[in-house]
Amino acid sequence: MNGLKIDELVATELREAVPYALDDLLQQEESAGFTKLDLNENLCTDTRLLRSVMRAACFEVNPKQYPLPQGGSAVPAISKHLGVDPSMVYVGNGSDDVLDRLTRTFAKKGSAALIVEPTFVMYRYFVSVSGARTKPVLLTPSFELDVDAIIKASDPSTSLLFLCSPNNPTGNQFKIEDIREILREFTGLVAIDEAYADFGRYSAVKWTQEFENLVVLRSFSKAYGLAALRAGYAVSNPSVIGWLNKATPPFNVNAYTQKLIEVALKKTSSFKKEVSRVVKEREWLMKQLQSIEGIRPYPSDANFILFKIVHNNFTSSELWRKLREKKILVRDKGSDTFLKNCIRVTVGTRSMNLRFLRALKQLLHSG
């Protein structure tokens, strides 16, 4: 050894970043037999539909050749689907990859990014890795946007604002008038993460032709049930997309994912029916949770439900642990702002939801 200290070579921003909690993911091999309702995956979509899309994409890919650059064939497929120009579309390996590229491009060192909390934890991570500052702004106690606070918190150094709508983990989709007011007043880029918008009431994609400071992020992981394949994209004005492409290596999206996006979009009507199934199951699960004494569920426009434990004998961490002992995996959000004693549960299939509800009732009634 020559005395080299690897840690001293690592960028300061990365050393100080807090990584996403991966304990449950890394132990998937050990979680056989568990009912996994912790990661907001689309668990209801017909597996036969997904396999037919995957097979069709697989047979059209030549593995010997490099993929087309800058999202390749997926870009015109998405632009046609949305009715926007191809110059307004950027494709990445899941919306996390798009978020990373967006942050590295526009949240430069010395600038600041506003993050409306509680929300998806990865926004803070990407901002910290980029070297920019994080400026948190809180939602109202009813989980709505505090428009005045957001505008007041912005200044000339604020280059980005992250909004997750429907919001993870609260589940609600923000009011249209609030978002439009922010788009009019905020001087930097507004990134609206619409990973769950297909389960909600509206999409902001159409506003990208009206507001040049708007970037909308979409995912194939949730509504299309393709989380394992990593496919996401951004829609914005050509200038923003041009800078994102300049900051991206040429072969960033593999040929299989490009073709998969093409094939999936040709079956949009089938996937819309699957989304309707998720929404119907969500409403059924909400009614069941509302009938259970000791918890209070919050309205949801996503494929998950957040609920607060009001039973005196349990904290969210204790209930999370006891559910885990019963092989039910949910997400403890009790340490988040405004979310003391809250748990987030993914909408699963009817049989999965019944197992969860049975375990939840047993624990609450025995406590």
> Over the stretch 65-105, which tens digit does the pLDDT of each residue have?
999 989 999 999 999 999 999 999 999 999 999 999 999 99
Same domain, 85 and 161: yes
> Among 267, 298, 320, where does a domain finish?
267
Distance CA 255, CA 242 (A): 21
Same domain, 57 and 152: yes
Residue 90 vs residues 136, 154, 215, 324: alpha-carbon distances, Å? 27, 27, 10, 39
Residues 244, 91, 133, CA angle at the centre, nearest 5°? Answer: 45
The pLDDT of residue 16:
65
Residue 202 vs residues 74, 84, 197: alpha-carbon distances, Å? 23, 17, 7
Where residue 365 falls among pLDDT bands split at 50, 70, 90? confident
Same domain, 156 and 109: yes
Q: Is the pLDDT of residue 10 over 80?
A: no
- Which residues have a Cβ under 8 Å from the Cβ of 167 and sit 6 or more positions away? 118, 119, 139, 143, 173, 174
Where residue 11 falls among pLDDT bands split at 50, 70, 90? low
Q: Is the pLDDT of residue 12 over 80?
A: no
Distance CA 151, CA 185 (A): 7
Same domain, 229 and 292: no
Tokens of 329: 């995996």
> Among 267, 283, 305, where does a domain finish?
267
Where residue 26 falls among pLDDT bands split at 50, 70, 90? very low
Same domain, 304 and 290: yes
Same domain, 19 and 108: no
Tokens of 127: 């901002």
Phi, psi angle pair for 227, to nearest 5°: -60, -35
Same domain, 210 and 327: no
pLDDT above 90 as % of the chain = 83
Residues 104, 111, 121, CA angle at the centre, nearest 5°? Answer: 60
Give the 3-state secondary structure of residue 83.
coil
The pLDDT of residue 29:
45
Give pLDDT tens digits for 125-155: 999 988 899 999 999 999 999 999 999 999 9
Return the CATH number at 22. 3.90.1150.10
pTM above 0.85, yes or no: yes
For residue 362, being part of any structural domain is answered with yes
Where residue 18 falls among pLDDT bands split at 50, 70, 90? low
Same domain, 229 and 290: no
Residue with tokens 């609600």: 172
For residue 21, being part of any structural domain is answered with yes
Same domain, 292 and 173: no
Mean pLDDT across 111-126: 95
Residue with tokens 């209801």: 44
For residue 332, being part of any structural domain is answered with yes
- CA distance between the termini of the chain: 57
Which domain range does residue 65 map to?
51-267
Same domain, 261 and 286: no
User: How many domains does the chain fold into?
Assistant: 2
Helix and strand numbers, DSSP H then E, in the chain:
14, 13
For residue 2, being part of any structural domain is answered with no
Per mean pLDDT, which range of 23-27, 70-74, 192-196, 202-206 is the poorest?
A: 23-27
For residue 200, being part of any structural domain is answered with yes
The pLDDT of residue 6:
62
Same domain, 73 and 193: yes
Same domain, 261 and 274: no
> Among 249, 267, 285, where does a domain finish?
267
Return the CATH number at 242. 3.40.640.10
For residue 1, being part of any structural domain is answered with no
